Structure 1
Amino acid sequence: MSTPALAFDSTTFRRTLGMFATGITVITARASDGSLIGLTVNSFNSVSLDPPLIVWSLGNSSGARAALEQCEYYAVNVLAVDQQALSNLFASKVADRFADVLWEPGLGGAPLLAGCCAVFEVRNRQRIAGGDHQIFIGEVERCERSEREPLLYFNGAYRTLAGG
């Protein structure tokens, strides 16, 4: 049985997905060799309240994929409105992304970034192959929040809340 041709291309699909406003997170972890991992992710969401589960995805071609699959813990740092530079830094190819970043160690040594509007400390539970991405499901063991306004991404650009 043949698969019908799609009525859209990958660019159209990506641009259409961009119409869904998301928060911006930086996923951080400590690799088994002790090195720090950090990357910008906006594919973050809740799965379950009991147990407390979250989900996010990572491209199969990511250089951080193996280390993130193997780590016991990682952190999801939800960026605040004034942290656009952090989002850009952790989305870049800069070798030492943590050089000038304030952070403290969380569970498993995962870096908890300063100034975020929320931080989740997560036990790495499950990974599922999903097309050109790996889907990570994790169990939240600790979390905290502040009243800071979040950094948002919509239609290919950073945004802020209006009228809060």
Structure 2
Amino acid sequence: MAQEIERKYLVKSDEFKQQAARSVRIIQGYLSSVPERTVRVRVKGDKGFLTIKGIGNESGASRYEWESEIPVSEAQELLKICEPGVIDKTRYLVEHENHLFEVDEFYQSNQGLTVAEVELTTEAQTVNKPSWLGEEVTGDTRYYNSMLMKQPYTTW
């Protein structure tokens, strides 16, 4: 089983954009958004993906994740049958001190929200935070994309 270990943070400034190696637009929806198993469909640039995630552990930093690339045309078709509430965002890839941060700037009903995730090899691994990183929100389910689809940031 593939295990995802990551920490999630709010982003407090646009400073990260100058440090980004690249960016890509992402549109995603959920075929299932129950906490025990989310099934996500994603169009990322010109590629399609199907992802299944399990429920997080007690800290919220680790959970099962399986992902497979699918034809973008199939992903676009699957988006049509997803639960209401599509996620629209740009992902920026920013390297900082041997860590890769994925910074998501959200649009539409999640406009104004920018979060960064960093994948780790263990939960105990430490990360030197860049200056543009704010409060840690690891384990706060409000910031899960599957929850942002149901309760968008602009409605908080």
The alignment's TM-score, normalised by the length of structure 1, stands at 0.28
Larger-gyration structure (1/2) = 1
- Greater relative contact order structure (CA < 8 Å, 6+ sep): 2
Could you say which structure has the higher strand fraction? 2
